[in-house]
Amino acid sequence: MILRLPIILTGQAYMTVKRTLVMVLTGLLCSASLPAIARSPQAVARHQDPGKSAQATAGFSFTVAGASADCGHLIMPAIAKAAHDEKAKFHWHLGDMRSVSKADVDFMFERYFQTPDSTNPTLADYQELLMSSIKERQLEPFRVQGVPLMITLGGRDDRRPLSRLGFRVVLRDMYSQPLLSDQRRVDGQADNPKDIPSSYYHWRVKSVDFISLDNATDVAFDRKQLKWLDGVLLKDMVDSSVRTVVVGATAGLPHSAVPDQSMCLTKAGTSSGERVYKALAQLIKAGKRVYVLSSHAHYYRAGIYDTEYWRDPQNGGVVIPGYVVGTAGAARMMLAKDMESDTQARSGVYGYLKGTVNADGAINFSFHELDNKALQSIETQNFESGLAAYCLNDNKAAGLIAEDPMPTWCDAPDNKN
């Protein structure tokens, strides 16, 4: 076997990769599994040098949101403008861009269907134009605003007539943008125009490694993806220039404050999600900062992993800062009365999460709500009057979010202490 290091790696970066390869070849990390990483964070902590990368970490912000069905064609352009105004380095969309079994309401307000010669659109019309409308109304606004767009696939994005493969083909241009193509070169991956991009990937901005994961199918991570993640986290663990890791996926990791909107929904999701959480917790023990973002629940909530399960020393005793921000257009879930006093949760709103990176690698997150003025300006450009009013006043999901959610796989006996 011949091992080739990318010729662009020099100095400390070269030594970091070389050191990792030596560890692998000598068998110290022969199992190459996330639990194996978790067993000895102290062995790699000596590689940390916080002072050297402080200057490289500071000085940028980014925006995040997900779940853009229903009113997303109205909300996403407003987020794109806000991201531009925030001078965001990029915007990260956390999946679930459209409904597939019904026509989203914003589609029905398109001016194209309101002319005298047009007819009311059918579900077949909606499904036929699904991908083209996503590109025009949700992706194009970010290109116009000059904001790079990263997309994580969601469960709705993997249902007919959509598919994971179809999305990856359509999003080929997104995968070729500099933030991602430069990262592939650093990783030693050659770009081939004929290749269909992976649905999971990562990119570095200064000292922060952003990792987009795919749990769209069965709300779980498959073995191939976990193996890939092993390699990414191994390098982050030993690389002193990586101070912070941010992981994003549509469904949140298990045992969160919103289990019925997380990977707890399936047995495979629970087991694979627990594995990833425990590996990320070891990065924290080794001196890294870690954050986890998701959007499957259609409201905003912070501190979702500050739960009894993850605080328990038997489960590691590490609480990862976590956020759910499903506020990009989907029917909004409303808080029940027993949650109205939760100062870290907001429902019935549209908006985005802004992350501001500090010199020490910590990220300050703040939620920004979109108001009627922001939505009215988009409506005037593309839609018939009334869409903004409907989205603000009537686009609500059935049922309420309560402190006592429905039982999930996380409640199964073999997941109890």
Q: Is the pLDDT of residue 156 over 90?
A: no
Two tokens, residue 295: 């959007």
The pLDDT of 368-387, averaged and rounded, is 93
Residue 48 lies in a domain: no
Distance between CA 79 and CA 145 in Å, rounded?
10
Contact 296, 349 (CB under 8 A): no
The pLDDT of 242-261, averaged and rounded, is 92
Residue 100 lies in a domain: yes
- Structural domain count, the chain: 1
Q: Which residue has the higher pLDDT, 31 or 247?
A: 247
7-16, 45-54, 170-179: which is most confident: 170-179
Residue 162 lies in a domain: yes
Residue 230 lies in a domain: yes
Q: Is the pLDDT of residue 55 over 70?
A: no
pTM of the model: 0.84
Residue 378 lies in a domain: yes
SS (H, E, C) 198-261: CCCEEEEECCEEEEECCCCCCCCCCHHHHHHHHHHHHHHHHCCCCCEEEEECCCECCCCCCHHH
Place 76 in a pLDDT band, splitting at 50, 70 and 90. very high
The pLDDT of 329-352, averaged and rounded, is 86
Contact 61, 317 (CB under 8 A): no
Q: Domain limits at 60? A: 56-399
Q: Which residue has the higher pLDDT, 206 or 18?
A: 206
Least confident of 115-119, 245-249, 359-363: 115-119
Q: What percent of the chain has pLDDT over 90?
A: 52
Residue 317 lies in a domain: yes
Q: Where are the beta strands (DSSP E) in 86-215?
A: 91-93, 149-151, 201-205, 208-212
Please provide the average confidence, as pLDDT, over all residues in the chain.
82
Residue 343 lies in a domain: yes
Name the region of 110 (left: φ>0; alpha: ψ -120 to 50; beta: rest). Answer: beta
Residue 213 lies in a domain: yes
Q: Residue 381: which CATH number?
A: 3.60.21.10
Least confident of 14-23, 157-166, 281-290, 407-416: 14-23
pLDDT tens sequence across 8-25: 344 444 444 444 433 433
The pLDDT of 325-342, averaged and rounded, is 85
Least confident of 19-33, 162-176, 252-266, 371-385: 19-33
The one-character DSSP state at 327 is -
